[in-house]
Amino acid sequence: LVLPLLGACAVTRAPQTLPASSAGIEAFSLSGRVAVKVERRGYTASLHWRHTATGDAVRLFSPLGTVIAELESDDQGATLTTSDRKVHRAADVQTLTREILGWDLPLAGLRHWVLGRADPSAPIDGEERDARARLTTLAQNEWRIVYIEYAGDSGLPARMALAHERLSMRLLVDRWDFPQ
């Protein structure tokens, strides 16, 4: 009896109309899921990420929807607030995540990579593109990014895998939003 009721409560969203290219996109929000593996330990979470010209705000959620961590960064530095409300600060996200989590989150590059483009401030070590000129693989800043799937006919990634030394990460984007 409960299962049909749960199915009836499911929220359906209208299909998104996404841009054919990520060119010109400077600010975005995305919702999705992330899986991180560091050596033999693995973590999964849902995430909401808002990127603007002035900074980033990333919220990670447990499978039950509780906030695991909140990460904010801007020109003044980076702050990580954990689920127990402890606040950690550092000059930048990579330093902060290295100190607190034991691995570097390359947010400076990731804000470009998640849009399906290389970080313009760093040299490209290698890249491959599909017939539509979208990245399929990218090597940059000692990271290897594989674009597994794009969102429909858009130029925006829907699934990607990232690897660096002892860390691998998979990102699935469920929804993109762009400021008007």
What six digits make up the tokens of 121? Answer: 């401030």
Instruction: Give the three-class secondary structure for 4.
Output: helix
User: What is the per-residue pLDDT for 15?
Assistant: 59
Q: What is the pTM of this model?
A: 0.86
Of 5-19, 46-60, 143-157, 161-175, which range is least confident?
A: 5-19
What's the pLDDT score for residue 4? 41
pLDDT of residue 93: 92
pLDDT above 60 (res 11): no
C-alpha–C-alpha distance, residues 11 and 27, integer Å? 26
Q: Give the tokens for residue 1.
A: 């009896």
